[in-house]
Amino acid sequence: MTNKDRPKYQQIIQAALEVIAENGYHASQVSKIAKKANVADGTIYLYFKNKEDILISVFRERMGQFIHKIKNAIEDKETASEKLLTLIQMHYAQLTESPYLAKVTQLELRQSKPELRREINKVLKSYLDVIDSIIEHGIKEKEIRDDIHPRLMRQMIFGTIDETVTTWVMKNERYNLLDQVEDVHSLLLNGLTKKN
C-alpha cells in the first residue's frame, strides 16, 4: 500500500470499527462499512479480501499502534510494578477513549471460526510478549516470585485485565474503568493474602 492510499485505508478501518461495534460482526455488511467510510463498495475490496480480513485488520491496526505505545511507555520504568501499572493504565485508557474499539475487542473478536481466531492470536502474541517481558524483568530483579510458571502469571495478568474490560463493556460502560487500575494492580502483584 502506498502512502497515498493510507488515509483511505484508515478511513475504512475507522468506519469498520464503528459499524461492527454498532451492529455486531455478523450484521455488518461490507456495504454498510463502505457507506460509513463514504466509499464505493468495490473500493473496500481494493484494500481487503473479505469481511473477516476487515475485522482482523481493524484489530491488527489498532492493537499494533497500542503495543508500540505501551513498549515505549514502559521502557523507562525501572520496576516491574511500575511497568505493570503503566500497562494496566494504558490498556484501560485506550478502551475508555474508544468505546467502539472496546466493543469490538471484547465482544466481536470472540468469533468461533478457527481461522479467524488463529489470525487474532497472531496479533495478540505481541501484546503477550510485552507482559512476558514485565514478568521476566520482575523475576530477574527479585520483585516477582520465581516459583510459579511465567506463562501462568501471564495468563492471570492478561485474563484479569481482559475480563474487567469485558464486564465494563457488558455493563454499558456505566462506571469509570480507570478507577479500577490501582485495585487490579494491587491484586495482581499481591494476590488475595491479607497483609499483617
The residues near 77 (Cβ < 8 Å, ≥ 6 apart) are 83, 86
pTM of the model: 0.90
Asked whether the CA dihedral 163, 164, 169, 170 is positive or negative, the reply is positive
User: What letter does residue 106 receive in the DSSP assignment?
Assistant: I
pLDDT band at 196 (very low <50, low <70, confident <90, very high): low
pLDDT band at 112 (very low <50, low <70, confident <90, very high): low
Q: Rg (Cα) of the chain, in Å, rounded?
A: 19
Domains and CATH numbers, the chain: 1-48 (1.10.10.60), 55-190 (1.10.357.10)
Cα distances (Å, whole numbers) of residue 132 to 66, 124, 150, 154, 174: 16, 12, 7, 6, 32
The average pLDDT across 16-43 equals 94
Asked if residue 4 has pLDDT above 70, the reply is no
Asked if residue 113 has pLDDT above 90, the reply is no
Cell numbers found for residue 12? 475504512
